[in-house]
Amino acid sequence: MAPEEHPLTVTRAAAIAGAALVAAVAVVVVVLELESDHRDAPVVWAVFAPAVIWSFVGTGLYAWAARPANRVGLLMVLLGFGWFLFTLDAANTPWLYTVGLVTGGLWGGVFLHLGLSFPTGRLSTRLDRGLVIAGYFVFPLAFVPALLFSGPAEMKCLDCPENVLLIRPDADLAAILTGVGAVAYIVLFALVLRRALERWRAASAFERLQLGPVYVCSLGTFLLVTVARAGGGDIAFWAAFVATALTPFAFLGGLLRSHVSHLDQELAERMEELRASRARLVEAGDAARRRLERDLHDGAQSRLVALALTLRAARGRVKDDAQLAELLDSAQEELRTSLAELRELARGIHPAVLTERGLEPALQSLVARAPVPVTVEASEARLPGPVESAAYFVVSEALANVAKYAQATHASVTVEQTNGDLTVEVVDDGVGGADVARGSGLRGLQDRLAALDGSLSLDSPAGRGTTLRAHIPVP
């Protein structure tokens, strides 16, 4: 396990879930049992405030368990408990109410930390770290100076308890300090928005897929909270409440999209590696074929030719022994047959003319041995070795099938290159009825072409001839 991972054990998860349950019950007690005097719709507050806590903690635990090396899950859990501190300002007890006013802003700092570090949970630049540190100061402390001079009347909440930080009520000074706190919020929001736009412009399509839902929801929530804390009224407050409740699911959706996109990227990379490895296998096979053809040509075939010359010389010296002369003539005939079969075998393994002169001469040599007349249309331009080999063996297999099964009187071979693809087409006027599934040779061609990202198609209606077509990308 990597040292940076922090696995979520069952004991740890149970402890966090238990703490979240206690926090949710505490909110209900504060709002309903202690009858909060300054919260509108206390029942709604008692339902939705714990729901926000559980949504952040629950999605955070899920993300933490699924990706322990990623800190997003941990930050989401902390955000849930930060929201619990925020709900304490519903209390009627002055000290608890004050704790909620001051520490409640911490959830904004965690929220900013989560947004700027998504999707890894780690801050990658000094600017991001600076913005997050500023957030941890601005969110909880920006309005604390105003609390020193804000009683219930100055806070426009006559039913609120008096905060324990109050030195003396001063409406003008409280308004000025509230304005200063609002400016701090707005400046921080502007800096975060600029950083988010910079990151968005620099992001790849893959990264934007992850960041899209997170940025939309996060910036919207940040703006609504800023408006609400700056005196935007109940509408802005409730809008921020709803946006906050939806935010953990946006983060979870971003993580899931990130995970799916990462899997897609890994799959594409593995498919590319598989394609490359198959291409390397085909190229290695062709290289082995060429070596074997050269070994046969330079080794066994040369020795057999030398033996044929020796037999011919021996036959020339035999004058009076008819029986020996007949044996030598028979040996020469067998040797000529063996040489012909060896040359045919070497051509089948890999024709030397294909390597030395290219595809078009190799095809002309191939059709010259065909049992039916064959016309060839092909360019003499050289192509990459694997492409030439694949095209040659497509034609070779097709003409072999024409000779064995087609009962054709004529065939044609067309090779043309268009838009980066080489198209090889072999057409005959035979009986048709060919099927790729019934021919091991055609299945082998399909595998060879697939290794080059090519394809093979067969059109062979009964009684109407056969068309074999191959498409091979030319790198």
Per-residue pLDDT tens over the stretch 351-409: 777 777 888 888 888 888 888 899 999 888 888 888 888 888 888 888 888 888 888 89
Nearest 5 degrees, angle CA 101-CA 104-CA 108? 130
Distances (CA, A) of 16 to 12, 74, 244, 296: 6, 11, 20, 75
Task: Name the band, by pLDDT with cuts 50, 70 and 90, for residue 33.
Answer: low
- Are the beta carbons of 76 and 60 closer than 8 angstroms? yes
Distance (Å, whole) CA 90 – CA 99: 11
CATH topology of domain 357-473: Heat Shock Protein 90 (3.30.565)
Q: What is the pLDDT of residue 426?
A: 93
DSSP strands (E only) in 148-225:
none
Q: What is the pTM of this model?
A: 0.56
Which of the given ranges, 26-30, 216-220, 227-231, 438-442, has the highest pLDDT on average?
A: 26-30
pLDDT band at 166 (very low <50, low <70, confident <90, very high): very high
- pLDDT computed for residue 300 by the predictor: 64
CATH of domain 10-271: 1.20.1070
The answer to whether 350 and 290 have CB atoms below 8 angstroms apart is yes
> Which pair of structure tokens corresponds to residue 97?
């109410």
Grouping H, G, I as helix, E, B as strand and the rest as coil, residue 449 is helix
Percent of the chain with pLDDT over 90: 21
- Is the confidence at residue 90, as pLDDT, over 50? yes
The mean per-residue pLDDT over the stretch 146-167 comes to 89
Residue type, 339: L
Residue 431's alpha-carbon distances to 228, 372, 383, 439, in angstroms, are 82, 14, 33, 16
Q: What is the mean pLDDT of residues 66-75?
A: 85
Where in the chain is CATH 3.30.565.10?
A: 357-473
Q: What percent of the chain has pLDDT over 70?
A: 80
pLDDT per position as a tens digit, 229-271 = 555 666 766 777 677 777 777 776 666 666 666 666 777 777 7
- pLDDT per position as a tens digit, 462-471: 888 899 999 9
pLDDT by residue (tens digit) across 99-146? 988 998 898 899 889 888 887 888 989 999 999 999 999 999 999 999
pLDDT-wise least confident of 109-113, 226-230, 270-274, 442-446: 226-230
Q: What is the mean pLDDT of the chain?
A: 80
Best-predicted range by mean pLDDT (1-10, 184-193, 342-351, 442-451): 184-193
Distances in whole angstroms, Cα of residue 48 to Cα of each of 31, 155, 275, 417: 11, 24, 53, 66
d(CA 174, CA 154): 7
Mean pLDDT calculated for residue range 154-172: 89
Domain with CATH 1.20.1070 in the chain: 10-271
pLDDT given at position 141: 93
243 φ/ψ angles, rounded to the nearest 5 degrees: -60, -40
Instruction: Please report the sign of the dihedral spanned by the C-alpha atoms of residue 122, residue 124, residue 129, residue 132.
Output: negative
